[in-house]
């Protein structure tokens, strides 16, 4: 069972980062997503199942997170409602798990078997320690902002939710397009570019970063608009408050398609005369972290920042 953080004589009073919350509630059912094709997953899964079965009533294992997510989106598998998700994989597997439970978020712990691991932040060598924190009530939840995307216009209404980003772009072989950005009814600018990336703080270290966007801490209530190879040198990444009502329109009258991609999955095309509306989803997604997690260490480790602390660093 998970219980609220409490005083530990060896640790003193628990102090949580200001943007996190303690993980509360009883854990009876755990769902594990595991990719058996990744090196080391089968071995860790065997130990993980033994660890979990000694602590909870039900342990379910799924080996294809993307197929599971597709089934839930189609209305199948909705009876599977765990108290905790454990993902053995990389950030892509985390995105699949988040998509599967987009409508009913579940506290999710990622054990990193990928190359980067900004979302799946627990190293494989520390999984027992981190999970024990969960069952001892010492783990905390980092609420992650998501983007709700809605396309309205000529075609059928389409909706999707992104934890990382929404990308609007032309095919790589096609010409640049012109994408109009509005905030509410206010026109901001027209981007002549290969596309735009609308990123959450979680996604600021993904595609947006490679396109020159800023890094946002997970606690920041904001979204980033990053142009992809903009023709105008004055077009720079733009940080907007999370309450912004963002609207995108394609102003070109040619026949080239403009794709919409949500967390790496197609949402269809954005046609002239249609509007793609983006705003912060009202429900944050709960990712589990350690109380003593240093977010800057995550950046140093993942991005390979060198050097040591400067004078006066504490």
Between CA 181 and CA 82 the distance in angstroms is 40
DSSP letters for the chain: -------BTTTBS----TT-EE--S---EEEEEE-TTSTTHHHHHHHHHHHHHTT-SEEEEES-HHHHHHHHHTT-STT---SEEEEEE-HHHHHHHHHHTSSS---EEEEE-SSS-SSS-B-GGGHHHHHHHHHHT--EEEEEP-EEEEEESSS--EEEEESSEEEEE--TTS--EEEEEEETTEEEEEEEESEEEEE-TGGGGTHHHHTTPPP--TT--EEEEEEES-SSTT---EEEETT--EEEEE---SS---EEEETTEEEEE--TT-EEEEEE-SS-EEEEE-TT--HHHHHHHHHT--S---TT--
Active site residues: 91
Please choose, from the candidates 102, 115, 90, the residue with its C-alpha nearest in 3D space to the C-alpha of residue 33. Answer: 90
Contacts of 208 (CB under 8 A, 6+ apart): 165, 197, 199, 224, 226, 237
């Amino acid at each position: 069972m998970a219980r609220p953080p409490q005083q530990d004589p060896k640790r003193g009073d628990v102090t949580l980062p200001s943007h996190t919350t303690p993980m509360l509630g009883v854990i009876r059912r755990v769902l594990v997503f595991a990719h058996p094709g990744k090196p080391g997953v089968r071995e860790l899964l065997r130990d993980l199942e033994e660890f979990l079965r000694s602590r909870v009533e039900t342990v379910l294992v799924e080996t294809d997170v993307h197929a599971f997510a597709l089934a839930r989106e189609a209305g199948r598998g909705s009876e599977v409602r765990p108290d905790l998700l454990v993902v053995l994989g990389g950030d892509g597997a985390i995105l699949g798990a988040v998509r599967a439970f987009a409508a009913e978020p579940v506290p999710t712990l990622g054990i990193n078997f990928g190359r980067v691991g900004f979302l799946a932040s627990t190293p494989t060598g520390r999984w027992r320690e981190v999970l024990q924190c969960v069952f001892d009530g010492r783990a905390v939840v980092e609420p992650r902002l998501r983007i709700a995307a809605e396309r309205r216009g000529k075609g059928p209404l389409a909706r999707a939710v992104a934890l990382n980003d929404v990308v609007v772009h032309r095919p790589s072989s096609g010409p640049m397009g012109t994408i109009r950005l509005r905030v509410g009814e206010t026109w901001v600018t027209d981007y002549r570019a290969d596309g735009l990336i609308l990123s959450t703080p979680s996604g600021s270290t993904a595609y947006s970063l490679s396109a020159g966007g800023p890094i946002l801490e997970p606690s920041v209530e904001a979204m980033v608009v990053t142009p992809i190879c903009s023709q105008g040198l004055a077009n720079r990444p733009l940080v907007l408050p999370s309450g912004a009502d963002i609207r995108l329109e394609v102003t070109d009258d040619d026949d080239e398609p403009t794709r919409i991609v949500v967390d790496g999955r197609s949402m269809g095309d954005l046609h002239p005369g249609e509007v793609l509306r983006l705003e912060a989803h009202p429900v944050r997604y709960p990712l589990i972290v350690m109380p003593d997690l240093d977010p800057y260490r995550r950046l140093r480790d993942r991005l390979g920042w060198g050097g040591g602390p400067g004078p006066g660093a504490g």
